[in-house]
Structure 1
Amino acid sequence: MGTPQHVRPEVRPWPALWALVIGFFMILVDSTIVSVATPAIMTELRTDVGNVIWVTSAYLLAYAVPLLVTGRLGDRIGPKKVYLTGLALFTAASVWCGLTTSVEMLIVARVFQGLGASMMTPQTMAVITRIFPPDQRGRAMSLWGATAGVATLVGPILGGVLVDGLGWEWIFFLNAPVGVIAFVLALRLVPDLPTHAHKFDLIGVALSSIGLFFLVFGIQEGQKYDWGTIKGPISVWSLIIAGLVVLAAFVIWQSRNRGEPLLPLGLFKDRNFSLANTAITTVGFAITAMTFPLMLYAQSVRGLSPTKSALLLVPMAVITGALSPFVGKLTDRAHPRYLASFGLLCCSVALFWLSQVIEPDVPIWQLLLPIALLGVANGFMWAPIGSTATRNLPLHQAGAGAGVYNTTRQVGAVLGSAGIAVLMESRLAHNLPAAPGGAPAGEGMAAGGTLPEMMHQGFSDSMAQSLILPAVVLLIGLVAALMFAKPTHLQQAPATESDDLEGLRS
């Protein structure tokens, strides 16, 4: 199949995608890199854990909440313009982060970083949908997926190297030259795509933003406040319930809006779009949740540094990168049901396997085997799920669909972070009764030290048992993937090869 009708013949899809992937990689790395620098930030800015947690929380909130709006904005004024604006904002805010001298200003700068990231992310998927023909989107989405998978490794390793060698500020300063290069490449290589005269649903914007803020904030801060009162009559659960109520009002408004809704509910009439969003929510949950117990075990029981702990994930990243081009080609030819289901099953099995081998004195190579299987899983999950979500989207709603997809992925990640924190605390309280809630363990980790040997077994058991949660959640995604319908371009493929089969349904 040649160039799609909606794209000018001179557009070169692959150079454009590579230009976008550089910026996408940068913002994904930034989602994980700060966790390694947390102790150094606490020391230099003379702050406590409660404040420094907001350095990450503020970024994630500002990233997740506007995604529905920024996706729709790309449809209205053009994905290239929105992407470049977000990239410029993200790069400038990164320099601001490195120059701050107080934790309060760092948190504010991180909010602007998150806003920039939220403008960039939906545009990458929207551009893939609009410049690649259906029979090539699998390969394109495999690059997008490999970027997401490899970024989970590069963030902690790069963070450890920079913090140890140059100081915490450089995890932000490094974004400046990368951001400038990404901006120039996107300006030159990404095409100006036709825009669509959308009206902006201001009521929908307000309801979705308020609802997502309450929901994400409540889930994110639940562990910090022990799922109780935050201040006065405001509790964690009141925020979560309020968020759900406002989001329900948002959905009702979208269904009754006679103009042009922010979220076209008709997107969910596409079976594959709805199922792919369910699957990617579980993937976001699992990928975020699994790193916490594994990294804490590696540092607190095995005594590995943050950088060496992150190196445990090298097999996962290498295998993901190697498999992605191969799986991308398969995604364009094979039913995504089989590819995505295989990836989700591998991921669940790998986490179950990891939960069985985590022990205080297990040889490292026995940990690397299930981690390698996670690389196979990543290679088979991202591209088939992402391409399945976007293949049937109307071109004028590509940004809206990408915004929904990335919102569900990000909400899944927030749920994974909160869920694994609750389970780890519960398991530590059960397995280390002398340390309710695992408090001494937490102090040891914050200080960068290992636990006393007498606590190794209980702590290892707690981390191992916690990994069962993301493994089980992935089974929900597996069920969704098994229900994927055959993509339209595969149904039409025989008709393009033989004029005798013109009776096939499109």
Structure 2
Amino acid sequence: MTATNANYKKGFIPFAIAALLVGLIGGFTAVLAPAFVADMGLNDNNTTWIALALAMSTAACAPILGKLGDVLGRRKTLLLGIIVFTIGNVLTAIASSLIFMLGARFIVGVGTAAIAPVIMAYIVTEYPPEETGKGFALYMLISSAAVVVGPTCGGLIMQAFGWRMMMWVCVALCVVTFFICSVMIKKTDFEKKSLDNFDKKGAVCVLIFFSLVLCIPSFGQNIGWTSAPFLGVTAVALVTLFLLIKAESSAENPILSGKFMKRKEFILPVLILFLTQGLMQANMTNVILFVRATQPENTIISSFAISILYIGMSLGSVFIGPMADKKEPKTVLTGSLLFTGIGCAMMYFFTETAPFAMLAGSLGMLGIGLGGNATILMKVSLSGLSQAEAGSGTGTYGLFRDISAPFGVAVFVPLFANTVTTRMAGVMANGTAEAAAKSLASVSSIHTLALVEVCCVILAIVAVRMLPKIHNK
């Protein structure tokens, strides 16, 4: 496959602006849930459901809307995605109840799910194969840098004018982006395909099943692993999975393409995603919890944890990701995973008095590895996609990429928190004061977490060595 557009770099500008929009508003709204919950007088645990509503639609709708993009065309799908994204942010700005907010964030996720596959599909189909690493690196840089800037800008606006004004600023950015994209992305001779053979049953099953997959760990942690809601959601998910397999096996043009998914180039990167990329948000949260328990006066790491991690991701995507265009991706990915492993291993040396440089270094090193990993995994997984299946393939990959982080959070955050609780009780039984017991238990627990995560990284490296060579194709 070769690039069909000689001006592919110039053509990517509006798609880059769309990526910037999603990343910037994602950063802005990182401070939304706590502000809304406080404003409405709700319990703090409701912030989980607001984040979950967005994650559900972003992940579950990605393969559906990616497939729809193959039918409607790239320009129309992107513009429709921005419109839906804008509507979701308008509804967020006027939300007056938790249910209203959950619906609004779900709609924002639908818009995101339409935008992201189109951007990745452009890189896959328009960039030359020897340049896709640079394309994905640029995409990752834009997204990561926007998340670094977003929370600060959003926090300043919210502090001065309130969270609703912050959301109206987001709406204004959406409108400007829609205008730019509608002008800059030219209409092409794309032949609109019929929706008659569109896999409607598969789309419904995909939406329900993968939404429930994200609900299962949240229900278990917040409601109880033996509660009726958790067991009910799990049962419905299993039934839907059976229906999904049945629907996709008989569909003429399935949402989840078995031909695309059964390749080593897809299966192994997804496995690596689940072993490593979930470490991002989980370690950021766990390091903050660790510092609060051992150094309650140290507010710096809590304030800058997001920025440290995403700055590292930006550096990794810029300096490591493009190397996969010249060297075999599996070789570069092995090196990138070593950075991830070093970031995790550094946690084993945390103490009650760990200096800020060590805490920041761990998150920064982790971010460098994750930024490089994400760029290279996209290149490997999406290699060889044709124009006809680009939307479907990028949407399917986006689905698994977007659920890998919540999966990691669901596993590693409770692992750390529950271990702290258990070991704290044991220490207090020996007569140690509560604060001191919590500090000692946190140190012990972060060391255990470090060992578990290093093992995950080692398994990921083993999976990398099993990847087929990409440059030979």
Q: How many Å apart are 1:329 and its aligned residue? A: 3.7
> 8 Å contact 2:57–2:106 — kept in the other structure?
yes
Q: Taking structure 1 as reference, are residues 103 and 203 closer, same or farther at Cα in structure 2, changes over 3 Å only?
A: closer
Q: 218-227 or 186-195: which moved more?
A: 186-195
Report the counterpart of residue 20 of structure 1 in structure 2. 15
Match of 2:420 in 1: 428
* CA pair 260-92 structure 1, distance change in 2 beyond 3 A: closer
- 1:79-98 pair list within 5 angstroms: 79-98=74-93
Distance in 2 between residues matched to 1:36 and 1:133, nearest whole Å: 39
Question: 5 Å matches for 1:49-60?
Answer: 49-60=44-55
Tell me, yes or no, if the aligned pair for 2:141 and 2:317 is still in contact at 8 Å. Answer: yes
Deviation, structure 1 residue 237: 4.0
**2:407 aligned to 415, 422, 440, which one?**
415
Q: 1:341 to 1:422 in 2, by over 3 A?
A: same
- Which of residues 159, 162, 167 in structure 1 aligns to 2:162? 167
> In 2, Cα distance between the equivalents of 1:418 and 1:326?
30
- Aligned-residue offset at 1:434: 8.2
What is the RMSD computed on CA atoms of the aligned residues?
3.0
For the 8 Å contact 2:427–2:437, the answer to whether it is kept is: no
Measured after TM superposition, the shift of residue 76 of structure 1 is 0.7
CA distance in 2, matches of 1:474, 1:190: 41
Residue pair 1:149, 1:378 contacting (<8 A) in 2 also = no
Q: For residue 206 of structure 2, what is the aligned residue in structure 1?
A: 208
Between the two proteins, what is the percent identity of the paired residues? 20
Whole-Å separation in 1 of the counterparts to 2:289 and 2:187: 46
Q: Displacement of 1:351 after TM fit?
A: 1.2
1:393 touches 1:401 (CA, 8 Å); kept in 2?
yes
Aligned to 1:481: 464
Q: Give the secondary structure class of the aligned counterpart of 1:485.
A: coil
Which piece of structure 1 moves more, 319-328 or 270-279? 319-328
Q: Which residue of 2 is the match for residue 360 of structure 1?
A: 352
**1:177, distance to aligned residue in structure 2 (A):** 2.9
1:243 aligns with 2:234: no
Any idea what the Cα deviations from partners look like across 1:243-268, whole Å, max 9, x if unmatched?
A: 244224423432333x2222221113
Secondary structure of the equivalent of 2:388? helix
- Give yes or no for the alignment of 1:178 onto 2:176: no
| Equivalences for residues 193-272 of structure 1 within 5 A | 194-195=190-191, 197=193, 199-229=197-227, 234-257=228-251, 259-272=252-265
Q: Distance in 1 between matches of 2:58 and 2:317?
A: 26
Does the 8 Å contact 1:34/1:56 carry over to 2?
no
Aligned to 1:4: 3
Counterpart for residue 122 of structure 1:
117
Using the size of structure 2 for normalisation, the TM-score is 0.88
CA distance, structure 2, for counterparts of residue 310 and residue 419 of structure 1:
24
Question: Is 1:281 the equivalent of 2:281?
Answer: no
Cα distance in 2 between the residues matched to 1:37 and 1:358: 31
SS of 1:330's equivalent in the other structure is helix
5 Å-filtered alignment, 1:60-75, equals 60-75=55-70
Q: Aligned pair in 2 of structure 1 residues 304, 400: CA closer, same or farther (>3 Å)?
A: farther
- 2:140 aligned with 1:142: no
AA in 1 matched with 2:97: S
Distance in 1 (CA, whole Å) between partners of 2:465 and 2:232 is 36
1:459 lines up with 2:442 in the alignment:
yes
Q: Report the alpha carbon displacement of residue 397 of structure 1 after superposing the two structures with TM.
A: 0.5
Indicate the residue corresponding to 1:187 in structure 2: 182
d(CA) in 2 for partners of 1:382, 1:313: 17
- 1:357 to partner: Cα distance: 3.3
Measured against aligned partners, the alpha-carbon deviations of 1:434-486 in whole angstroms (never above 9, x if no partner) come to 899xxxxxxxxxxxxxx956633333443554455444333343222222222
SS of the residue aligned with 2:12? helix
CA distance in 1, matches of 2:255, 2:161: 44
Query: 1:273, 1:397 → 2: CA distance?
Result: 14
Q: Which of residues 380, 384, 409 is equivalent to 1:392?
A: 384
2:176 is aligned with what amino acid? I
Distance apart, 1:430 and its partner CA: 1.4
Query: Which consecutive unaligned segments of at least 5 residues does structure 2 have?
Result: 429-433
* Amino acid aligned to 2:342: V
Change in CA separation of 1:376 and 1:210 when aligned onto 2, cut-off 3 Å: closer
User: How much does 1:166 deviate?
Assistant: 3.5
Aligned to 2:431: none
Shift of 1:41: 2.2
Moved more, 190-199 or 201-210: 190-199
- The runs of at least 4 consecutive aligned structure 1 residues that moved more than 6 Å come to 304-307
Number of positions where the alignment pairs a residue of Structure 1 with one of Structure 2: 465
Equivalence for 1:110 = 105
Q: Could you say what secondary structure the match of 1:378 adopts?
A: helix
Residues 1:294 and 2:318 are matched in the alignment: no
Letter in 2 for 1:482: R
CA deviation vs aligned residue, 1:101-130 (integer Å, no higher than 9, x gap): 333322221121111111111111111112
Q: Give yes or no for contact 1:227–1:235 (8 Å, CA) kept in 2.
A: no
Q: CA deviation at 1:398?
A: 0.6
